[in-house]
Chains A and B, each alone.
Chain A
Amino acid sequence: MTTESPSPPVDPQMAPPAPVSAAGSPVGVEFKGVQRHFGTVTALQGLDMEIHPGELVALLGPSGCGKTTALRLLAGFDRPDAGMITVGGRDITKVPAHKRDMGMVFQAYSLFPNMDVRTNVAFGMRMRKAPKLERLESADRLLDLVGLGNTGDRYPHQLSGGQQQRVAIARALAIEPTVLLLDEPLSALDARVRVQLRAEIRSIQQRLRITALFVTHDQSEALSLADRVGVMRDGRLEQIDTPENVYRHPATEFVAEFVGAMNRLPGRIGDGGEVVVLGQRLPLTEPDRYPPGTAVDAMLRPEALQLAPDAGGLGEILERTFLGSSVRLRVALDGGQTVVVEASSHGTDLPLGARVGLTVVADRVAVVEQATPAVALGPA
């Protein structure tokens, strides 16, 4: 469960945190058949999902897929039309928002403008009637935890976006919640701050062993942060699995194309559980799904294809995008399609227009029935 993250520039003397819930151990969350409709629009079609104790699940998907709705239902800002939500085995579907023991971090603007940072962080404790001295001291400790030790007296409008989000995190943690909810907390921030804060959030979540639900539309965020990633579309959960599995073994076409870039190349099912594509015979991930002879599209990641200069090859380099450590090449195949190939920038000096040959370097290939003419997809 440990993901390596660059050590954040935070106060190194962080005190070991207090246990997360009254019971002292993390709790799990479960969605059972949760539905939510808004008039004629179905935001959630019967969501069944489990978040294991201490786990961070990232919900990933395009806008309108229902991920935010699911989060808000868990937070209590909305009621499901059907189904049940349990936390630690307890049914909380009817519990009002202010009685659920959850900390939420919003995308932006959530700090109370009329209070200074310390009072903001202490707010939750104040609602729980903690004595003043105690809650202000706790607030200061939490601010240390997120690296904002001496900003207690400042007001939200005096802080940068990244700093405000750190305060929001501290404030959510102050109530020692059983579940941490994050609603695209990094989307409104600069790229650099985003990456840094991402790592810190993960580090805090792991150390405190808080069960967390993280909603995002940024797949690199989801892949790098989560223990498991749930990909959603149109109100359903298409796949929930570890980041590696979601990337390498996408369960549906949508997941394959949403997470990372994906090429589709025409091929034909051969005998013996293989597919013939680009002139190569390759084993299938599901050997018995389609009968031999079926025309299919092979789903191949850009890094699953390899180029080599070949005067008689079937591709020609169209475009070249330099990305620093890697290079993305767009190759036009003689058959009329284009594919995207990703290679390390070390030693790939092929000029535009060069003739190349392609080999597939995946051990197994996933295929789908050929519906539309194969189109190579750009980076997500």
Chain B
Amino acid sequence: MTALADAVDTPFGGGQAAPNRRPARRGRPRSWRIVVLAFTAIFYLLPVLCSVKFSLINQKGTYGVQNYTAIVNNGALRAALFLSLEIAAITAIVVVLLVFPTTVLVRLKLPKLTILMEAVTILPIVVPPVVLAAGLLQMKETAPLWIVNAFFNHPVTVLTPMYVVLAMPLMYRAVDTGLRAIDLHTLVDASRSLGAGWPTTLWRVVLPNAQTAVLGGMFLTIALVLGEVVIANQLDQSKLTFPLEMIEFASQDNAPGISVAMTLTALAFTFLLLFMLTFVARRRRTNTTGAIS
């Protein structure tokens, strides 16, 4: 009786056996940790604080929140914001649809293709976006007119597919990490044996168990889209996206305060989303049981 209870308590085989067995170490935090953390904290917080101060200086030279209110008031800015959010939303959804089922499939049935997946998903990180942009520019020059009109002339249609490619590595990492943390094979087998088909299994069983990972990936995708300038700059002449407006304000309109305000808003927004997500993740983890022994 007690032996069984203990066996569940000390899972074997999983990579997390030891830390769960002991009560948390209460030592004095080592000095090197504090030094490293302190230095890095300063390195990151100082510029951010400077930016906050900078963004609160409006064009007349006094303090005020005009730079922030401009985000909602300025017509061009508002349009750019909505455009970028629209692109971000579509991108996030498309990339999940593409990456999630594929990753599940590879983990379940085609483990040999994992290496291929990893290779393919590393590519967008390292293929310079500027090269992609160059290639796209070339395609635009040489493509038949109907494609140019349907495809290249609208920011949403031309940018979204490219952003999906760029977002792919991070979504793959997020989903992969999320799937590693759950017992995928067992869940799927259980679901299938109870009569669920593949779509139902993916939607009702696997996805909810990986939802924090997927959501995290989607939030990061939004971050990516809100910050991407290289490809947008090369291709998009008609309407400007949010980050392009950022550059516009700084260089053309000589209002860098607005650019900084935009940056801070975007950063803060995404950070909050991700931060709140970590709390949701924790609650879920304590509800599910550990590895099956």
Contacts and interface: CB of A to CB of B under 8 A. Distances in A.
- Find out whether A and B make contact in their complex, taking CB atoms under 8 A apart as touching: yes
Interface of A: 38-39, 41, 43, 62-63, 68, 72, 107-109, 184, 187-188, 217-219, 258, 377-380
22 contacts: A38-B24, A38-B26, A39-B26, A62-B5, A62-B6, A63-B5, A63-B6, A63-B9, A63-B10, A107-B17, A108-B17, A109-B17, A184-B10, A217-B2, A217-B3, A217-B6, A218-B3, A219-B3, A258-B2, A378-B1, A380-B1, A380-B3
Nearest to B10: A187
Interface in B1-16: 1-3, 5-7, 9-10, 12-13
A68 B5 contact: no
Most A CB atoms within 10 A — which of B10, B21, B26?
B10
Given A107-B17, A109-B17, A187 B5 contact: no
A107 B5 contact: no
A38 B5 CA distance: 22
Interface of A is mostly: loop
Nearest to B11: A188
A380 B7 CA distance: 13
A207 B108 CA distance: 50
Nearest to B2: A62
Contacts of B9: 63
B50 interface: no
Most B CB atoms within 10 A — which of A41, A218, A378?
A218
A109 B12 CA distance: 10
Contacts of A109: 17-18
Contacts of A38: 23-24, 26
B284 interface: no
3 closest A-B pairs by beta carbon, nearest first, are: A217-B6, A188-B12, A38-B23
A379 to B, nearest CB: 8
B17 to A, nearest CB: 6
Given A107-B10, A377-B1, A380-B3, 9 more contacts: A39-B26, A63-B10, A72-B22, A107-B17, A108-B12, A184-B10, A217-B2, A219-B3, A378-B1
A43 B26 CA distance: 13
Contacts of B24: 38
A187 B10 CA distance: 9
Given A63-B9, A108-B12, A68 B3 contact: no
A41 B23 CA distance: 9
Nearest to B8: A63
Contact of A43 (B1, B5, B23): B23
A68 B1 contact: no
A149 to B, nearest CB: 27
A292 to B, nearest CB: 35
Contacts of B1: 377-380
A353 B130 CA distance: 84
A377 B2 CA distance: 12
Contacts of B10: 63, 107, 184, 187
Interface string B6-47: 110110110001100111101000000000000000000000
A68 B2 contact: no
Contacts of B26: 38-39
B12 A68 contact: no
Given A62-B5, A217-B3, A187 B23 contact: no
A344 to B, nearest CB: 24
Most A CB atoms within 10 A — which of B3, B13, B17, B21?
B3
B2 A187 contact: no
Contact of B21 (A68, A219, A377, A380): A68
A67 to B, nearest CB: 11
A188 B5 CA distance: 15
A38 B17 CA distance: 20
Contacts of B22: 68, 72
Contacts of A218: 3
Interface in B175-214: none
A11 to B, nearest CB: 29
A41 B22 CA distance: 12
